[in-house]
């Protein structure tokens, strides 16, 4: 048995959850926050048989595409006390998914 842990953007989570459910997979959603943009993410956890890993990853890849986002740069921590920082916009790639697949030694549904 495997445990798939996928960290996805909030923009993709509803479509991903629906797609996984439509394909017969049960899942758990946990709210989380990304470190770089401090934006909302969701962590999806799916317990599956070993032979289902490729199918689940394929569904994640199909739904969670990367995209470009324009955001304000964060100021360096040393400059802001003097008020001398002028923010500028930067383009970053967001989306996609970070996926971990781990072995499950034991599973019980109680």
Using the structure block, give the residue that is written with the tokens 């955001």. 71
**What is the tens place of the pLDDT at every residue in 9-38?**
888 999 999 999 999 999 999 988 766 555
Structure token digits, residue 43: 């962590």
Structure token digits, residue 55: 């199918």
Where does 2-66+93-103 sit in CATH, by number? 3.30.70.120
**What is the tens place of the pLDDT at every residue in 79-105?**
555 556 667 787 766 678 999 999 999
Domain boundaries, the chain: 2-66+93-103
Q: Is the dihedral of CA 70, 44, 2, 48 positive or negative?
A: negative
Do β-strands 28-33 and 66-72 pair in parallel, antiparallel, or remain unpaired?
Answer: unpaired
């Amino acid at each position: 048995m495997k445990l798939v842990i996928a960290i996805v953007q909030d923009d993709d989570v509803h479509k991903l959850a629906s797609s996984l459910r439509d394909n017969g997979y049960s899942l758990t959603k946990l709210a989380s926050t990304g470190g770089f943009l401090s934006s909302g993410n969701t962590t999806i956890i799916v317990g599956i048989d070993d032979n289902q890993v490729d199918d689940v990853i394929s569904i994640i890849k199909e739904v969670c595409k990367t995209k470009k986002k324009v955001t304000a740069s964060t100021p360096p921590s040393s400059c802001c006390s003097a008020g001398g920082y002028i923010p500028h916009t930067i383009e970053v790639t967001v989306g996609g998914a970070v996926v971990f697949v781990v072995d499950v030694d034991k599973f019980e549904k109680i």
